[in-house]
A and B are shown apart, each in its own frame.
Chain A
Amino acid sequence: MSSDLTTLSASAASAKVKSGEVDAHELFEQWRERSRLDDLNALSWSADSVPAEIHTGGPLGGVPLGVKDLFCTEGVPSQSGSKILEGYLPPYSATVVDALAAAGAPLLAKTHQDEFAMGSSNENCAFGAVINPWDRGRVPGGSSGGSAAAVAAGLVPWALGTDTGGSIRQPAALCGVVGLKPTYGSVSRYGMIAFASSLDQAGPITNSVADAALLYSQMTGRDVHDSTSVDHPDPVSEVPAADLTGVRIGVPTELSGEGIESGVLDAFNASLELAKSLGATVEPCHLPHAPHALSAYYLIAPAECSSNLARFDGVRYGLRVDPGEGLDAMYGATRSQGFGPEVRRRIMLGTYALSSGYYDAYYGRAQRVRTLISQDFDTAFESFDVIATPTSPCVAFELGSKTDDPLSMYLSDFCTVPMSLAGIPAISIPNGLSEGLPVGLQLVGPAFSENRILGIAASLEAAIGFDGSAARL
């Protein structure tokens, strides 16, 4: 019996496969066994056998991958956490899933998520809530909660998530793992079941900054199937930890004071001190329109989703409920029974925001606020190399504690939403514990500065020295 390969980091395992020390099929098989330990409801599917062919020659060296449910995977259920897509088997795979498989990250498992990526707790999943491995009474965050919980618990070596307003970063923070939301457009969205098209972006959820950099390095590039995708002008390859000497860190006063739990704030301030001790300068900065970001976000994202989700109509795939009273009645019954309450709420909100007479007041204004938020970041990056905030204002909360109050759930996204609106990259790294639960530190840079923020994140990661082994199943 060979040694336990699942204790290796993804980067280390990749290196060992490439050097011939580890057999990729053996690695896959061990991870396949591990994935069966899932008692967190983190996984929606896992491979029932080792793939015949694993691209071990690729840069990822055959390290298997967990993929959020909403990525289309040919012949493998892709349900986006929704009853309306229960058991749906797409005839094609998302560009990024194909690209990663070709680079040597074969599909190991699919992970549960909030329905259509709408949620911050993973409780809006038609297939049951995902549980946080740090505390089984608590949520893992959302919407990529299954991916974050699976990585934290060691059910998959690394995973793909998607981030629309914080859906990679917040669950990464709440589960004590690394989550990168890349620059909008740097990763193809083709084959990602859409929530809000102008905001959705795929990114890695991993145990370390190095793993995140390695996985992300194989995700980028213009895709002919996604006209909003672009070639990365400064592609990520290997990211050495950056020397923090002289690095200017801006701390936006709007996102680092009011509304943040004291334990989270303490951990945040401690890490800023650490950064200073490594030679960085830390100064307050301003994002004056950031307080309006949530309002703009909760108009833009629902508006786009109300239209994106119109295709779920019971005709070509998925659920159909037909009361036998004609086409419209079939639509109404299918969509009311197929979508959960949060999805229905956002469809209603978005339909309202786009409806005649309200477009200018809501959607049109929100798009203008978006401009102001981008300009705020542009101004801040004239004086700072990177912006730091807590990722989530709170640690993982108890299951069921916020489900009755959608607005308070929405408000917990306030540190992550501004970057989504601006389309700029942001990474969350584990920043110690508060009351025994993980806290996240968010580092934000200008568009396409992934190399920079990954480098700074790697330095701080080393300095913080977070130990996530308690979450391992």
Chain B
Amino acid sequence: MTEFEAVIGLEIHVQLATQTKMFCGCKPVFGEDPNTRTCPTCLGLPGALPVINEAAVDFGMRLGLALGCSLAERSIFHRKNYFYADSPKGYQISQYDEPLCSEGELAGVRINRVHLEDDAAKLVHTSETGRIHGAESSVVDFNRAGTPLAEIVTEPDLRSAAQAREWLQLLRTTVKALNISDVNMEEGSLRCDANISVRPVGQKELATKTELKNMNSFRFVEKGIEAEIERQRILLESGGTVVQETLHFDPRTGSLTALRSKEEAHDYRYFPDPDLLPVSVDSEMVERARAALPELPAARAVRYAETYGFEQELSERLGFEADLGDLFEAVLEIRGKASDPRLAATWVSGEVFSRVEQDAGSAIEASTLAELLELLEGERITTAAARQVLDRVLAEGGSPADIVASEGLEKVGGGDALAAAVEIAIAAHPEAAAKVTAGEHKALGSRRWWRGAQRNPCSPWRRVGFITWLNNPQRQRFHSQRRWSLC
């Protein structure tokens, strides 16, 4: 039987987080009352004209540079003519044969182009709003109309749904690091369409492709592409042919439906927008955009792996989440060369991140975390105590050293101190102490506890464990062992 391979290219739309829309001064704020963020230009009123937003061009250049593209000295906005209720002007202003950026690459996937365009309005079908008389009409909200979009078009270099998803995640991380977009798929500030074809392994020519739209999460991107590859493969295996069409992925059912009937062949009648002049990009603008580029996620991950010998997962966690990487580096900076980078890395990517997934990097001051790690690394507190301190710091703020002091979390030095602690415990719980003395603790498996306590300095946890154990030996058995092992 013939083996097939999938050939996948992506078209990604990124809403740029500029202060104003692409061609007018309206603020693109979401979740506002419908039609309160519009003006003559973005409403397509008679006589209104577009003027290009300088920041959108700058963001587009940053994106192009980050994706290794060459920037055009002169790029042109065309009109893409089509009628639809979401199109205020009857055309979209988009770049066509002279885009701002072209020919780049990210993680082995070639970028065909990055260009700028304006977003469409939002069409709300009245059936969805629960109105009684069905879907006879729809309502248009022009708040979104004119929001700047960067469209990224890849070459068909992806070969599987999982690879497409992974690559898209890297792209998202990269765009996020540039600080030019929220890149949130659920909210629509990152949108992905896929061009998919399937061909026999070894065949050079591209087969007929279909376009898959409306995959509004990374999971659906993978599921949708997977489903379409499977559909095409089964079709080809059964001797059928793939028809060029646009498909809509329904995440609820996982089904694919053709969006538009074939009879309406699209003829967008592209031509240079006569309301706009070509955009000239001079070396000063390029340098400014280049200077605004942060270290990119892929490069950062490689640097961590090479400099600190971290494994891939840890390097990527810190490299791809810019705020985590920043926190990690700031902690290292404060603690100096003598400190253990791996300890800082695991605490940032593990302990901190697991507690606050959203904006973990800004949840705690680097100096605070550095102080905590210093206590930990200097063996003044146990890991368990450090976790307790972290919880407190995240919840209430404050200095780790102060919390350790006020909570009495510092390790107890052993010897006399331990003896004193035990004396206090025994005095407080004479009955339990009597049982201990009678040797019941052996049955509870705490012999190791005693041995260990004599050998090593003992933490407050052990003291607490011991006292609790004294109170309720049955319940405490497991815990005391766990504390022991953590010490």
Contact = CB atoms under 8 A, between A and B. Distances in A.
B43 A307 contact: no
Contacts of B275: 194, 197, 226-228
B465 interface: no
B52 interface: yes
A3 interface: no
A310 B89 contact: yes
Interface string A354-365: 111001000100
B155 to A, nearest CB: 24
A194 B47 contact: yes
Contacts of B48: 92, 190-191, 225
Interface stretch (A27-35, A238-246, A312-320, A433-441): A312-320
B310 interface: no
B277 interface: yes
Interface in A240-291: none
A359 B40 CA distance: 30
Contacts of B44: 311, 316
B274 A227 contact: no
Nearest to B264: A328
Given A227-B52, A227-B276, A331-B83, A193 B47 contact: yes
Output the residue of A304, A307, A312 with the most chain B CB within 10 A: A307
B49 A225 contact: yes
Nearest to B140: A315
B88 A226 contact: no
Interface in B64-98: 79, 81, 83-85, 88-91
A228 B277 contact: yes
Contacts of B484: none
Contacts of B273: 197
Interface stretch (A83-91, A401-409, A447-455): A83-91
Given A307-B90, A316-B88, A354 B43 contact: no
Contacts of A359: 269-271
Contacts of A90: 40, 45-47
Contacts of B274: 196-198, 228, 304
Interface string B45-61: 11111111000000000
Contacts of A196: 274
Interface string B85-122: 10011110000000000000000000000000000000
A327 interface: yes
B263 interface: no
A372 to B, nearest CB: 18
B267 interface: yes
Interface in B26-49: 40-41, 43-49
Contact of A316 (B45, B83, B277): B45
A191 B89 contact: no
Contact of B267 (A80, A94, A192, A355): A355
Contact of B45 (A91, A303, A310, A331): A91
A311 B90 contact: yes
B81 A307 contact: yes
Interface residues of B, number: 31
Output the residue of B40, B273, B276 with the most chain A CB within 10 A: B40
Interface string A182-194: 0000000111111
B81 A88 contact: no
Interface residues of chain A: helix, strand, loop or mixed (majority): loop
B234 to A, nearest CB: 34
Contact of B271 (A85, A303, A311): A303
A90 B269 CA distance: 29
A198 B274 CA distance: 5
Interface residues of A, number: 46
Contact of B79 (A80, A85, A227, A307): A307
Contacts of A228: 274-277
Interface residues of chain B: helix, strand, loop or mixed (majority): loop
A7 to B, nearest CB: 34
A78 interface: yes
Contacts of B83: 310, 313, 328, 331
A351 interface: yes
A317 B91 CA distance: 17
B269 A92 contact: no
A225 to B, nearest CB: 6
B82 to A, nearest CB: 9
A396 interface: no
B46 A307 contact: no
A190 B47 contact: yes
Contacts of B271: 303, 307, 354, 359, 363
A193 B267 CA distance: 25
Nearest to B123: A327
A316 B276 contact: no
A189 B48 CA distance: 9
B466 to A, nearest CB: 76
A307 B90 CA distance: 7
Output the residue of A71, A311, A356 with the most chain B CB within 10 A: A311
Output the residue of B47, B83, B84, B273 with the most chain A CB within 10 A: B47
Interface string A381-392: 000000000000
B43 A316 contact: yes
Contacts of A85: 46
Given A228-B277, A331-B83, A354-B271, A311 B46 contact: yes
A458 interface: no
A16 to B, nearest CB: 34
A369 to B, nearest CB: 16
A148 B276 CA distance: 30
A224 interface: yes
Contacts of A155: none
A227 B140 CA distance: 28
A72 interface: yes
A78 B89 CA distance: 18
20 contacts: A72-B47, A78-B46, A85-B46, A91-B45, A189-B47, A189-B49, A190-B49, A194-B47, A197-B274, A226-B49, A227-B49, A227-B275, A227-B277, A228-B274, A306-B269, A307-B91, A307-B269, A315-B140, A316-B45, A356-B269
Given A194-B47, A227-B275, A316-B45, 6 more contacts: A88-B46, A193-B46, A307-B79, A311-B45, A311-B90, A327-B84
Interface of A: 70-72, 78, 80, 85, 88, 90-92, 94, 189-194, 196-198, 224-228, 303-304, 306-307, 309-313, 315-317, 327-328, 331, 351, 354-356, 359, 363
Closest 9 CB pairs of A and B: A310-B90, A197-B274, A354-B269, A198-B274, A193-B46, A191-B47, A311-B44, A72-B47, A227-B51
